[in-house]
């Protein structure tokens, strides 16, 4: 019996069978069956209760064992070979004086209970880098202007900097020992000089100042801060594995999947119910694990040992918990995608073993001190969650990084769920004995009228990290060459916003004209779009100032300074290249993606106004990230313009008017910035943080009304 493909729109419109109550009952049914599984209860309750006390005991034993077997050799870093003789001599004199003072001149005495630390020296080029990497314990550097000399009959004045890393216990002990040696050397040399009357000598021959690399109050145990997210993530994965297998491959193995798919319920609703069940178990697993870990740390006293006097704060626990929930949402979707492809419980387990191993890689990479949450790593799946959790535990998280991690991980979760919806309950999974992963990407034999929503979600999920990484890499390649930088940035925009949707449309066998509404628009829409394009920017400008006046967003003046610097650099490039990079190419590419492929994919699911708002909001969200900062103030104006563009796409059923409006809008702004100096001499220049004159707004409003009126009077073209 072949699966019954139910129409979601028909299902939603049945008055006798409301969609949401049925979906809720289906979700509760899946959740009850999942929570009845004994394996789920074991991973959910018993493992966290037993695991963390055992880990704490093991760690305490490790700390105690290492504390009684401390290393007695300190590695001292020196920044130049010329200073090595003078510094080693001073420390050797201090060690000799200290040994004489303690009565331990013979360090090989068998009855000595105190071990004399030994010093080894290394000449390095960068003291700070080597100290941070734990390659050396303490660094010594001659201050600029100091005269390193120890000559008979001459004054001694050697100023030093001692570089150390707060939180490195071995380095702190080495620091105290070096300080004691320098003090003893001072005393010895002062006594020697005082014996030679008539020689000018200051009381302290050696003056040094400490140079801490970080505030000691902010230093925490980085290793443990990275281990904790890995442990919690692994436990979250463990809790979600069995429910995901049981609700997909288990259903097929029991012979109930075919009957379930044949039910009068949309396939996406079935998958969503299973997703909620898996996500709930993962959520509960994360909550119980985090609670057990927190209670264990508080009871054992390890919280103060690991996180300082303030211990593990409630805010930090809440932030890490939120990240774990985000990751649980992502991994639940990934698990459903993999297990939906499996035809048996055993096959699903075979798929999950490599996934678990792959998940360990980013987790272990977070343990490395040199791996920072910056650049492409902010959008690297799983690794960005681990690094952000580590930074939050160390008190170093920031809004920009958190927003990128949350946004990219949410997109990845949506893409994984869309992929699962594409393969869940398909004919190949239900009936064919031999299938391959290539079958999932096989092009449909017949042309499709619209792109699949799952393909559009997958395209969006890939679009953001692809654009982010491409622009970052190509900008670093271009360096300070503005022409090359503009060219490569334009190339990245083309690949991300046109290349990816074109590939998705081709893979889905959707004709180009239907996927992107590439048809000639009504004639009245052309001048209407151009008029709107040259007159909408004053209202976007005033919207930003309105939000700032009401303290909804805060305008950062420093961003305007950075923008001015970029504009000054762009004036060195030809005007044609500037218009191509900032006006023509971004407008065409973004319209192809948002009002073309995405709008068309959402059209069967959302009516006109809802589609306009959703695509406009996504358009605004994609403009939040500006170079290396989070531009919250751009959300409202770009969403406003995105909704205008979406309405024009809906009214004309063509992509071309939106492109004309977008190009006109961007082109006018680019010309205003490019010729700002010439316009300022004529009194036309404007200050970004000040309101525009009322005459400008009235004139722009009249032009907008005329443009929108022309578009409203145009007759939309029908789909071919």
pLDDT tens-digit profile of 236-283?
777 777 788 877 777 777 777 667 666 666 666 777 888 888 888 887
Measured in whole angstroms, the distance separating CA 545 from the mean position of its chain's CA atoms is 29
Choose among 688, 401, 423: nearest CA to 556. Answer: 688
CB 658 within 8 A of CB 645: yes
- The rounded distance, in Å, linking the Cα atoms of 18 and 27 is 15
Residue in 364, 411, 416 with CA at minimum distance from that of residue 387: 364
- Which residues of the chain are under the pLDDT cut of 70? 1-20, 22-23, 33-71, 101-115, 144-155, 194-226, 232, 257-258, 260-268, 297, 299-313, 367, 369-370, 422-442, 475, 478-479, 555-562, 625-630, 683-689, 716-720
Q: List the one residue out of 296, 332, 346 whose CA is nearest residue 317.
A: 296
Spatial CB neighbours of 205, under 8 Å, sequence gap ≥ 6: 155, 156, 157, 158, 186, 189, 190, 193
User: What was the pLDDT predicted at 15?
Assistant: 41
- Token reading at 323: 């990240």
Q: Which helix (H) or strand (E) holds 392?
A: helix 383-393
> Under a CB-based contact definition with an 8 Å cutoff, are residues 410 and 326 in contact?
yes
Alpha-helix runs per DSSP H in 169-266: 169-194, 222-247, 249-254, 257-261
Closest CA to 72 of 131, 139, 138, 119: 119
**The pair of three-digit structure tokens given for residue 322, joined into one six-digit string:** 């939120």
The answer to whether residues 378 and 405 touch, using CB atoms and an 8 Å cutoff, is yes
pLDDT for residue 650: 93
CATH 3.40.1710 location in the chain: 70-105+114-218
Give the helix/strand (H/E) hosting 163.
strand 158-164
Handedness of CA 343, 345, 348, 350 (dihedral sign): negative
Looking at the DSSP bridge assignments, the partners of residue 210 are 162
Q: Can you name the CATH fold of 70-105+114-218?
A: abc type-2 transporter like fold (3.40.1710)
Residue position matching structure tokens 């140079």: 211
The pLDDT, as a whole number, for residue 588 is 95
160 class by beta-carbon count within 10 Å (0-12 exposed, 13-18 middle, 19+ buried): buried
Tokens 């305008």 sit on residue: 555
Look up residue 426 and give its two tokens. Answer: 């398909």
Name the strand (E) or helix (H) holding 122: strand 118-123
Instruction: Quote the pLDDT of residue 67.
Output: 46
**Alpha-carbon span 425 to 257, nearest angstrom:** 7
Helix-, strand-, coil-residue percentages of the chain, each rounded to 5: 70, 5, 30
At a CB cut-off of 8 Å and minimum separation 6, what does 693 contact?
A: none
> Which sign does the torsion angle of CA 626, 463, 384, 369 carry?
negative
Report helix, strand or coil for 74: strand
Instruction: Note the pLDDT of residue 218.
Output: 44
**CA gap 494, 585 in Å, rounded:** 7
Which segments of 584-686 does DSSP mark as H helices, in order? 585-590, 599-602, 608-621, 635-652, 656-674, 676-681
Parallel, antiparallel or unpaired: strands 73-78 and 118-123: parallel
- For residues 325 and 79, the answer to whether their CB atoms sit within 8 Å is no
Q: Identify the residue whose tokens are 């993606």.
A: 593
- The CA–CA distances, whole Å, from 599 to 461, 500, 564, 587, 606 equal 16, 15, 35, 16, 9
Question: Contact 612/642 with Cβ under 8 angstroms?
Answer: no
Identify the DSSP state of 114.
Answer: S
pLDDT at 202: 53
Question: Rounded distance, CA 718 to CA 516, Å?
Answer: 13
Question: Residue 625 has which token pair?
Answer: 């990230």
In 3D space, the residue among 508, 227, 231 whose CA is nearest the CA of residue 368 turns out to be 227
Residue whose tokens read 């008029």: 531
Instruction: Provide the pLDDT for residue 440.
Output: 53
Give how far the C-alpha of residue 156 lies from the chain's centroid of Cα atoms, to the nearest Å: 53
Distance CA 678, CA 430 (A): 69
- Residue 73, classified by CB atoms within 10 Å of its CB into exposed (0-12), middle (13-18) or buried (19+), is exposed
Q: Which uninterrupted H or E stretch holds 73?
A: strand 73-78
On whether the CB atoms of residues 689 and 593 are closer than 8 A, the answer is: no
Question: Encoding tokens for residue 582?
Answer: 């900032």
Ramachandran angles phi, psi of 372, nearest 5°: -115, 150
In percent, how much of the chain has pLDDT > 70? 71
Closest CA to 296 of 59, 128, 80, 67: 59
pLDDT at 718: 58
State the pLDDT at residue 41. 59
């Amino acid at each position: 019996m072949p699966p019954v493909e139910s129409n979601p729109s028909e299902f939603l419109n049945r008055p006798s069978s409301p969609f949401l109550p049925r979906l809720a009952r289906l979700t509760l049914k899946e959740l009850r069956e999942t929570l009845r599984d004994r394996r789920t209860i074991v991973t959910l309750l018993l493992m966290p209760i037993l695991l963390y006390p055992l880990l704490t005991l093991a760690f305490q034993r490790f700390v105690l064992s290492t504390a009684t077997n401390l290393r007695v050799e300190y590695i001292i870093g020196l920044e130049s070979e010329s200073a090595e003789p003078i510094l080693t001599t001073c420390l050797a004199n201090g060690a000799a004086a200290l040994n004489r003072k303690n009565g331990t001149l013979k360090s090989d005495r068998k009855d000595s209970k105190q071990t004399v630390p030994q010093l080894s020296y290394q000449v390095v080029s960068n003291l700070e880098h080597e100290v941070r990497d734990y390659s050396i314990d303490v660094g010594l550097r001659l201050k600029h202007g100091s005269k390193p000399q120890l000559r008979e009959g001459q004054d001694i004045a050697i100023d030093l900097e001692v570089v150390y890393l707060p939180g490195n216990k071995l380095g702190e002990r080495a620091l105290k020992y070096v300080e004691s040696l320098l003090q003893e050397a001072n005393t010895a040399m002062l006594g020697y000089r005082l014996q030679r009357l008539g020689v000018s000598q200051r009381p302290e021959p050696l003056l040094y100042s400490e140079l801490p690399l970080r505030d000691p109050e902010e230093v925490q145990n980085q290793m443990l801060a990275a281990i904790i997210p890995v442990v919690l993530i692994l436990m979250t994965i463990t809790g979600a594995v069995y429910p995901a297998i049981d609700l997909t491959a288990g259903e097929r193995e029991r012979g109930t999947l075919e009957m379930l798919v044949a039910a009068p319920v949309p396939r996406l609703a079935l998958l969503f119910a299973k997703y909620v069940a898996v996500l709930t178990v993962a959520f509960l697993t994360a909550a119980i694990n985090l609670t057990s870990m927190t209670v264990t740390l508080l009871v054992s006293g390890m919280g103060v040992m690991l996180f300082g006097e303030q211990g593990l704060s409630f805010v930090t626990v809440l932030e890490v918990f939120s990240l774990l929930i985000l990751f649980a949402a992502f991994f639940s979707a990934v698990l459903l995608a993999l297990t939906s492809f499996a035809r048996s419980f055993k096959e699903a387990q075979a798929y999950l073993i490599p996934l678990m191993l792959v998940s360990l890689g980013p987790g272990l990479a977070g343990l490395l001190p040199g791996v920072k949450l910056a650049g492409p790593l902010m959008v690297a799946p799983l690794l960005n969650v681990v690094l952000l959790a580590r930074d939050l535990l160390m008190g170093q998280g920031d809004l920009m990084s958190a927003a990128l991690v949350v946004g990219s991980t949410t997109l990845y979760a949506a893409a994984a769920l869309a992929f699962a919806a594409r393969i869940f309950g398909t004919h190949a999974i239900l009936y064919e004995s031999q299938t391959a992963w290539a079958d999932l990407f096989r092009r449909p034999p017949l042309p499709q009228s619209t792109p699949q929503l799952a393909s559009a979600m997958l395209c969006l999920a890939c679009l953001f990290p692809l654009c982010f990484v491409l622009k970052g890499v190509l900008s670093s390649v271009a360096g300070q060459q503005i022409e090359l930088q503009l060219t490569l940035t334009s190339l990245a925009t083309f690949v991300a916003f046109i290349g990816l949707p074109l590939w998705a449309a081709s893979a889905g066998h959707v004709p180009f004209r239907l996927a992107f509404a590439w048809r000639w628009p009504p004639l009245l829409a052309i001048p209407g779009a151009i008029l709107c394009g040259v007159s909408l920017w004053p209202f976007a400008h005033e919207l930003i100032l309105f939000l700032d006046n009401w303290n909804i967003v805060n305008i950062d003046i420093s961003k305007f300074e950075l923008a001015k610097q970029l504009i000054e650099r762009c004036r060195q490039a030809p005007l044609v290249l500037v218009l191509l990079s900032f006006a023509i190419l971004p407008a065409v590419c973004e319209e192809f993606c948002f009002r073309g492929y995405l709008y068309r994919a959402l059209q069967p699911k959302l009516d006109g106004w809802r589609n306009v708002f959703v695509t406009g909001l996504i358009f605004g969200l994609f403009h939040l990230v500006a170079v290396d900062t989070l531009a919250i103030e751009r959300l409202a104006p770009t969403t406003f313009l995105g909704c205008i563009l979406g309405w024009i796409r809906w009214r004309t059923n063509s992509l071309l008017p939106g492109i004309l409006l977008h190009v006109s809008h961007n082109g006018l702004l680019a010309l205003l910035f490019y010729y700002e100096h010439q316009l300022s001499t004529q009194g036309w220049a404007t200050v970004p943080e000040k309101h525009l004159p009322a005459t400008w707004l009235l004139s722009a409003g009249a032009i907008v009304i005329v443009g929108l009126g022309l578009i409203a009077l145009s007759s939309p073209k029908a789909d071919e």
